[in-house]
Amino acid sequence: MTEHSVIGHDVIEHDVVVREDIDETALVGMARALAPAVSAGGAIHLVGELGAGKTTFARALLVALGVDGRVKSPTYSLIESYTLGSLTIQHLDLYRIAAADEVEWLGLRDLDVGRHLWLIEWPERAVGALPSPDLIVHLAHAAHGRDLRLEAVSPVGRQWLGIVDPGSVGPFRTAS
Ligand SMILES: Nc1ncnc2c1ncn2[C@@H]1O[C@H](COP(=O)(O)OP(=O)(O)OP(=O)(O)O)[C@@H](O)[C@H]1O
Ligand SMILES: [Mg+2]
């Protein structure tokens, strides 16, 4: 794991941030805390079984970024797009995709111009056909709530986790 502090520059990089058995309010709080960090664009893959909280997390992130009105789940449409100033956000749910080539008609590569934030549920359905992730959000059912693991998988993702303000979401437990 990469975890280092640069004294004087206040840079803390984390590879992994873990929150165990959190309720929905805390999960939404984590998404909100992440929002300022990701507003420059990048790719987030959301991984977890049915009902694990992927859309809940994505929706909280979208609202925190400033999307107003109803945030629809892309369960049926596969993709929902949002424009916030110069930032375009693409929220995908690939649960219904059986093979990577089935997403080709979406033309994701052609869409990926300018400042883009990708939020992709069920990315494992289309491995290789998607923007590679900066951050993987892992969600799993726990005894009462959900286990959340934010895994940075690029320098950008590590930077994001360094920016997240732990004070706004309670103590972080970092793990390798
Ligand atoms: N701690 C929690 N975190 C997130 N969601 C929770 C939590 N506790 C209960 N829930 C509920 O669990 C459900 C999560 O549904 P959600 O649509 O976010 O899951 P999903 O991972 O996107 O599922 P799918 O794979 O079907 O798209 C919501 O109804 C939400 O209210
Ligand atoms: Mg969902």
Residue 112: give its domain's CATH number.
3.40.50.300
Single-letter amino acid code for the residue at 36 = P
Domain that holds residue 18: 4-170
**Ligand 1 atom closest to 23 (CA):** 1
- Ligand 2 centroid vs 93 CA: distance in angstroms? 6
- The more confidently predicted of residues 27 and 6 is 27
Note whether residue 143 is domain-resident: yes
Note whether residue 176 is domain-resident: no
Note whether residue 49 is domain-resident: yes
Q: Name which of 174, 148, 170 is nearest 161 in CA terms.
A: 174
Note whether residue 115 is domain-resident: yes
**Cβ–Cβ under 8 Å, residues 84 and 63:** no
Residues whose CB is less than 8 angstroms from the CB of residue 159 and which lie 6 or more positions away in sequence, other chains included: 13, 37
Quote the tokens at residue 121. Answer: 């549920």
Note whether residue 175 is domain-resident: no
Nearest alpha carbon, ligand 1 atom 6:
24
- Ligand 1 centroid vs 68 CA: distance in angstroms? 20
Does position 170 have pLDDT exceeding 90, yes or no? no
pTM of the model: 0.88
Does position 173 have pLDDT exceeding 80, yes or no? no
DSSP designation for 162: H
Per the structure, the count of domains in the chain is: 1
Note whether residue 127 is domain-resident: yes
Averaged pLDDT score across all residues of the chain: 86
- Ligand 1 centroid vs 94 CA: distance in angstroms? 16
Note whether residue 165 is domain-resident: yes
Which of the four pLDDT bands, split at 50, 70 and 90, describes residue 163?
A: confident
The per-residue pLDDT for 128 is 86
Whether 24 lines ligand 1, by a CB cut-off of 6 Å, is yes
Quote the tokens at residue 171. Answer: 């103590």
Note whether residue 153 is domain-resident: yes
Cα–Cα distance for residue pair 161/130, rounded to 1 Å: 22
Quote the tokens at residue 153. Answer: 């998988």
Whether 145 lines ligand 1, by a CB cut-off of 6 Å, is yes
